[in-house]
Chain A
Amino acid sequence: MDQPIVSIENVAKHFGTVKAVDDVTFDIQPNEFFALLGPSGCGKTTLLRMIAGLEVPTGGAIVIDGQDMAATPPNHRPVNMVFQSYAVFPHMTVEENVAYGLKVTGTPRSEIGPRVTDALGMVQLAELAKRNPDQLSGGQRQRVALARALVKRPKVLLLDEPLSALDAKLREQMQLELSHLQQRVGITFIIVTHDQDEALSMADRIAVMNDGRVTQIAAPDTLYENPTTRFVADFIGKVNLLDGRVVGTEGERVAVEADRLGRITVPHEGDASGDVSLVVRPEKITLANTEPDGDVIKSQGKVTDWAYYGDTSHMFVTMDSGLVMSAKVQNTTRETVDNFDVGDTVWLSFSPSDVLLLRE
């Protein structure tokens, strides 16, 4: 593997007695689209600001492209940031905003012009070059912030919740554009977000943070299908989380006494014993009016609630034991939505291989 572009080594940041970032260590590879994901207050923005040099770590080292950044102020770091509020200079035109970073660092005039034009073209703002920021929409302002950072040709681009202020449609569009842009310019992107969809759809790797610590770093699909902790399983996507106790092994499988569901056997690699958590994603659960056949874990219950999302519906099924599980029904035909109704008695089933066992 190449030398990492960013190395976070035992970095900590304390505000008084609060540990915003608590001994975090990981590497980011060149040209990677890396996401820091976590609930608000988990320390992800603080970590990003420390990489930018806007916050000084209490401990540890941040190495960018082989150089320790401890003594380097933000204006001399090879990174640039897109701020959450975009921070577009209100008294400058779009063009002046983009040229600013080149001007203050003494780039020759003959070079500034073409580079600004290039950057504006890259974010499709060429026609708005002479506008003032107050004449731009939120999405356009964000493009200005993006162009302003990219024109500096940083080694790493930092994005602090870049899409949180945009409406849903525009956000989806910008997600695609950002990933395309990243592939095109070949710069490492580090994005901070609390929106799992954003992280899952754009990032090559995601670091999930909680309480100032990194809980898991993995590719999006690994994170979703193979979370290593209860927190990650719960934070990413919707989930049915059951408590259970390992009671023995049956060949390749582990037998678990699941809370209010009964004894089930699930495949599991590695050893397992004692108390465990069982994770089943709602979309892995099938609902049927008749008892299903085959090697499935099944249970009968009553539909007690449902939430309709258009493309899918979430059915909440309450079993006789009182256990409530949610199942996602794809509305694949226009009539699917009529299949189940509140009060119906249904069979719910899922494959044993879709149950993830977490030792915790």
Chain B
Amino acid sequence: MSELAGTNKAASPGGRAIAGPRGRHMTIGPLEYGRRFWLRCFVAATFLLLYAPIFTLIIFSFNDSRRNIVWRGFTFKYYEKAWNNDGLFEAFTNSLTIAVLTTIIATVLGAMVALLLWRYRFPGKPAYEGFMALPIVIPEICMGVAMLAFFSRIGWPSGMPWPLNLSAITIAHIAFTFPFVAIVVRARMAGFNRELEEASKDLGASEWQTFMNVIVPFMRPGLIAGALLAFTLSLDDFVITFFTAGPETVTFPVKVYSMVRFSVTPEVNAASTALIVITVLATIVAMRFQTPDKTEAT
């Protein structure tokens, strides 16, 4: 009897806490991870680790000091300096030109490969699929050396006028970015309902009309994601570029690398910040193009 009373006594405060209007000790549900304290700390730590270096870089780009160690006050000086640094500016233009060309060609090429793999069955398809994805897994340094050997072996002309002098780098970039596009687009096409294609033809559309009106709109999110991937991969690639670049074709990452070898000035920070802004803007624009995904509901 007394034991029973004891249980009652113990249970009642707990019960009140759950039902109470203030809800101070509301029970956390098994899937409500967002309400667990330790998990919040973990998430915060992750974000800190990910973004602290980037924010430091941005903040120190405004540092009024030649040596980038101690904060000496706010200035735009180094942005001006970076802008007027002809070598840096040229490297930047080179990088953007290469990235844009690479994005366009790699996206078209990657989408075509993806369609080929999605649509057709042919002998040796699994082998082809594996070989196609090889540039993704091959170490970049090997790719770089291979590219260097390849271009010198076939005697690819160097010293051509701009922008033809960027052709070797651009070709190398296309070669290692298009598999990424292909994989992203291929994954997107896996969710395509073949009946959509059949319905289009049944309604009187030709093969080409079906492709343009039904398949491409479905593919678009994949195309945009793939293009974005190709763009950023090309823009910040160092290793492969380093091997394929000539003396007069310096790209931004290569230029920054050579500048850092002397000293890390806020000028490098400023240029890097500009690059981050461009990448983020490109991402935002791409996201804007991706209308809310309603293509799954068929």
Question: A278 in the interface, Cβ–Cβ < 8 Å?
Answer: no
Chain A residues closer than 8 Å to B217, beta-carbon distance: 91
Do A81 and B202 touch (CB < 8 A)?
Answer: yes
How long is the Cα–Cα vector from A353 to B200 in the complex, in angstroms? 53
Q: Given that A75-B201, A81-B199 are known contacts, is A104 also in contact with B298, CB under 8 Å in the complex?
A: no
Nearest A residue to B196 by beta-carbon distance? A87
Chain B residue with the shortest CB-CB distance to A98 = B203
Which of B11-19, B78-86, B205-213, B235-243 forms contacts with chain A? B205-213
Given contacts A75-B206, A90-B294, contact A83 B195 (CB under 8 A): yes
Contact B193 A104 (CB under 8 A): no
Instruction: List chain B residues, Cβ under 8 A from A81.
Output: 198-199, 202
Inside 8 A of B52's CB, which chain A residues have their CB? Answer: none
> Hey, what's the 0/1 contact readout for A27-64 against B, CB within 8 Å counting as 1?
00000000000000000000000001110000000000
Contact B202 A74 (CB under 8 A): yes
Return the chain A residue nearest B212 by Cβ.
A104
**Cβ contact within 8 Å between B294 and A134:** yes
B198 and A80 contacting across the interface, CB-CB below 8 Å: no
Q: Mask for A75-92, Cβ within 8 A of B = 1, else 0?
A: 110011101111111110
How far, in whole Å, are A128 and B205 apart by their CA atoms in the complex?
25
Residues from chain A with a CB closer than 8 A to the CB of B193 are 85, 87
Distance between Cα atoms of A88 and B214 in the complex (Å): 11
- CB-defined contacts of B296 to chain A, threshold 8 Å: 90
- Cβ distance B291 to chain A, nearest Cβ, rounded Å: 8
Q: Is the CB of B204 within 8 A of A101?
A: yes
Q: Does A121 interact with chain B (Cβ within 8 Å)?
A: no
B295 at interface (Cβ–Cβ under 8 A)? yes
Chain A's closest residue to B216 (CB) is A91
Cα of A87 to Cα of B198 in the assembled complex, Å: 9
> Of A52, A53, A104, which is within 8 A of B205 by CB?
A104
Q: Quick one: closest B residue to A133, CB to CB?
A: B297
Interface pair A74/B195, CB less than 8 Å apart: no
Bound complex: CA of A104 vs CA of B202, how far in Å?
11
Q: Are A104 and B209 in contact (CB under 8 A)?
A: yes
Q: Which residues of the partner chain A approach B196 to less than 8 Å between Cβ atoms? A: 87, 89-90
Residues of B within 8 A of A54 (CB): 198, 201-202
* B interface, over-half SS: helix
Q: Is the CB of A75 within 8 A of B294?
A: no
Chain B 92-130 interface mask (CB, 8 Å, partner A; 1/0) = 000000000000000000000000000000000000000
User: A65 vs B120: C-alpha distance in the bound complex, in angstroms?
Assistant: 34
Within the assembled complex, what's the spacing in Å between the Cα atoms of A236 and B213? 43
Partner of A74, one of B198, B213, B214, B295: B198
Chain B: residues with Cβ within 8 Å of the partner, total of 22
Contact size range, A: 20 to 34
Which residues from A are CB-within-8-Å of B195? 83-85, 87
| Interchain CB contact under 8 A, B204 and A104 | yes
Contact, CB under 8 Å: A104 / B218: no
B 119-172 contacts with A by CB, 8 A: none
What is the distance, in angstroms, from B203's C-beta to the closest C-beta of chain A? 3
Given contacts A86-B298, A91-B295, A104-B209, contact A52 B202 (CB under 8 A): yes
* Pairwise interchain contact B203-A73, C-beta atoms closer than 8 A: no
In the assembled complex, which residues on chain A have CB atoms less than 8 Å from the CB atom of B209?
A: 104
Q: Which of B198, B203, B294, B295 contacts A104 (CB 8 A)?
A: B203
Q: Which residues of B contact A134 (CB under 8 A)?
A: 294, 297
Bound CA span A86–B298, Å: 8
Instruction: Render A228-242 as a binary contact track against B, CB cut-off 8 A, 1 for contact.
Output: 000000000000000
In the bound assembly, the distance between CA atoms of A105 and B199 in angstroms comes to 14
Q: List 22 A-B contacts (CB under 8 A).
A: A53-B202, A74-B198, A75-B205, A80-B203, A81-B199, A83-B195, A83-B198, A85-B195, A86-B298, A90-B297, A90-B298, A91-B218, A101-B204, A104-B204, A105-B205, A132-B294, A133-B298, A134-B297, A145-B199, A149-B202, A149-B203, A152-B204
> Taking beta carbons and an 8 Å cutoff, which residues of A are in contact with B?
52-54, 73-76, 79-81, 83-91, 100-101, 104-105, 132-134, 145, 148-149, 152
Interface residues of B (CB under 8 A from A): 193, 195-196, 198-206, 209, 213-214, 217-218, 294-298
Given A74-B201, A101-B204, 11 more pairs with CB closer than 8 A: A75-B204, A75-B205, A81-B198, A83-B195, A84-B195, A89-B196, A90-B295, A104-B200, A104-B213, A105-B204, A152-B204
